[in-house]
Chains A and B, each alone.
Chain A
């Protein structure tokens, strides 16, 4: 046989063996996993270059990874971050199954490197890099690893959701902008995302799955179980990824420790609490800024969640902690509900507190704030006074508090938050009444320490807000005037400010408020 023919034959033989090896590779991998023959799992979904690198380098991968790790640490200490993305990419490529590596690199980018930059846009880029490293690559190679779900959830919950970073509002705004095309302001149409009909809807749903790795079917389940959530905010995504981690854990119960499940559950509970406190996004229609309001529709579900946590917790000491956390949550919930003019619901939960914890102070440090001793109104007023910083009524602070609440009320009215407008107005009135009652018995009475009539305070605030030069923007002034039935603004500046002693007959329309601006 000639050399040429021999070579061709050998090449054919090599190709045949390669094909044969490929055929048995799957079953070999399965056996390796089932028989626990190796701690290294086969690499799935990896691009050819990465698959080749991990196999070809063998045990030397660790050495190279160490070298890269040392370089990354050195560069970070020298404040040279431009190589970090590349080095992290290489390090994780070399150790694709080492979950701690993914977790550390993502955490380092999102938490440590991000704050090294003073510009919020730069910080956001690094938070995104951390998130993407886990979501796009880490979970791709380790789809069942709960640590990665936990870390991803933590980025949404803590880094973006909480206010530990000065740039947290920026992060929330950027994320809301990204999520706006999928999750609109009027609740999420999951059915459209699951079964898109138009080409545009299909593209949108595809983008959500491909880029953000969010499965609308599972998101709907999460929303039904823990929501309704505002998916434009980070808390919903923190819950999504933690819930997905729990779901994956169910598929591989043998590989998951109980402590990892506990952390994932806590991520959900803590994110729900955050969502209750700031889980409703309101876009200011005038300057397009975002405001975060409490999501009061979550009160009942969050209450139930605490009950579930209590039932799931085996440690008695921890159980007490959960009960305390639940009570603290209800105290805040009562105030938020009252503030939002949902007085009936506030009263319902206040009654629950009075029934379950009659002798526990509602306000820390105020032993007279037990639910058995004070009414709902008194509690809310006491809480505002606590915020104002005075337990005994003070004229200037009370005036300031009332003015502040009224200013807030008119702002809410302008942006269409009618319930909150009514709630703040109601609260301002209650604080005013409480002060007047408390000081009526003072020597010299109302003449010495009393406040001007509520209507006058209200008018002062309103005049200031409607002042074309120093007040709200024109569009907001126009809305307030329309909503309050005031005459439209003219271009002629008023000759003189309206006297606080001459209340004008302004009548409120379209709100639940019991008081009017002129009263």
Chain B
């Protein structure tokens, strides 16, 4: 351990010697202090806080990410090129200890910088919030500066699948179809059945019963929020709206709340507050919606109805969000060190940045995998092209996507700006997936390459 710490300390000294720590710290603080002055918001305290969280954390992530890559590539590659590593390697210390010690050094630097800048952001948010009128503070406390958990209606997939199979079998008895078409027929039947669960016809009402689970014990006297979204059966322009009326609670059993007619836009998430204590003793919240339009409305099963409830404080949630960002940095540090283990500094930096570009291009990769070809297709006919390269590239891209999604499936900045809870489980998953699994594999490769490298042959600057 002492050896690891010694190498980590050397990395710290190098960071200070290169003025990297100072420069990054100043840049981070300048971003945190300067961004609020430059940003244009939508005029609400909520909007300003959201954009502040998003932009400051994005800038922090970008700056720290680049400096981590730079430092991790530089600290090892330059040590090798400038022959300083020979002085260290001849000491009684294993190669893996040198590599891992540098990683620890970089990550401890990151921890310090992240804590410094994150603390400034948090302080800034609370300081600005304290200066707002009481009504705005209440909105912030309930919608942004909070960690909100969510409860959704029961999942009907099992019932839908069972009904789909039953209807499919009955139909196949009367109207046989080719084997190739069975999947399509099943899909269409499933969509029809699914629509029955989603549909609210004109002048009809629809009820949802949402189980708040264990959270009910902590939600007395606390207002909740409904997050709803619907689509319409008729064509509507982007600026059209529909009228809906809501009632929450069960007459005679719980308190009741009814909304005034709400003018709601389709295909959009709407959040609104409902009073406290509308759920029953079992924690079931009953929600009724009356469709007061002359067209059917569809509430998607996946995200049409959601209850948001306060689950914890913002500060701890913010810390967990920083924890996920820290995991990303750990991955980048491992990537940079692994690249520097067998490449010169400029090539290692280029390689690491190229890997980042691939990660950011995952949308394009996903499109290619979905279409099944790299050569695109005819947009009018829908016929996709084919290429020999598809046989190699598509499986390769699929593999890339699996790896990339291990890193990209976490979105702490979105969660924090939306006031959504980042659970300890999520943080733990991030640590396992990003640091232990991906970082570990890359680290092992890097350590392996570094251990086998003949250090005396790499003398770039001599």
Contact = CB atoms under 8 A, between A and B. Distances in A.
A and B co-occur in one complex: yes
Contacts of B205: none
Interface string B258-295: 00001111001110100000000000000000000000
B251 to A, nearest CB: 25
Given A83-B54, A166-B241, A167-B263, A118 B42 contact: no
Q: Identify whether the interface residues of A are mostly helix, strand, loop, or mixed.
A: helix
Nearest to B414: A80
Interface stretch (B43-51, B192-200, B427-435): B43-51
Contacts, number: 60
B51 A165 contact: no
B180 interface: no
A79 B51 contact: no
A85 B42 contact: yes
Given A111-B238, A115-B239, A85 B265 contact: no
Contacts of B241: 115, 165-166
B240 A115 contact: yes
A82 B47 CA distance: 5
A85 B41 contact: yes
B57 to A, nearest CB: 13
B133 to A, nearest CB: 14
Given A86-B39, A111-B239, A112-B238, A118 B263 contact: yes
Contact of B263 (A89, A126, A129, A166): A166
B268 A79 contact: yes
Contacts of B263: 115, 118, 166-167
B39, B42, B51 interface centre (most CB from chain A within 10 Å): B42
Interface in A64-118: 79, 81-86, 89, 111-112, 114-118
A79 B417 CA distance: 13
Nearest to B229: A79
A311 interface: no
Given A111-B238, A166-B241, A83 B43 contact: no
A82 B268 contact: no
B42 A82 contact: yes
B47 A129 contact: no
A129 B42 contact: yes
Interface string A122-134: 1001100100000
Contact of B239 (A82, A84, A122, A165): A165
A164 interface: yes
B43 A125 contact: yes
A315 B41 CA distance: 47
B40, B43, B54, B270 interface centre (most CB from chain A within 10 Å): B40
Nearest to B52: A82
Contacts of B50: 82
29 contacts: A79-B268, A79-B269, A81-B42, A82-B41, A82-B42, A82-B46, A82-B50, A83-B51, A83-B54, A84-B42, A85-B42, A86-B40, A86-B41, A111-B238, A114-B239, A115-B238, A115-B240, A115-B241, A116-B268, A117-B265, A118-B262, A118-B263, A118-B264, A118-B270, A125-B42, A125-B43, A125-B44, A165-B239, A165-B241
Q: Which 6 pairs, one residue from A and one from B, show the smallest C-beta to C-beta distance? A: A166-B263, A82-B47, A82-B50, A111-B239, A112-B238, A115-B265
Given A125-B42, A125-B44, 6 more contacts: A82-B54, A115-B263, A118-B262, A118-B272, A126-B42, A165-B239
Interface of A: 79, 81-86, 89, 111-112, 114-118, 122, 125-126, 129, 164-167
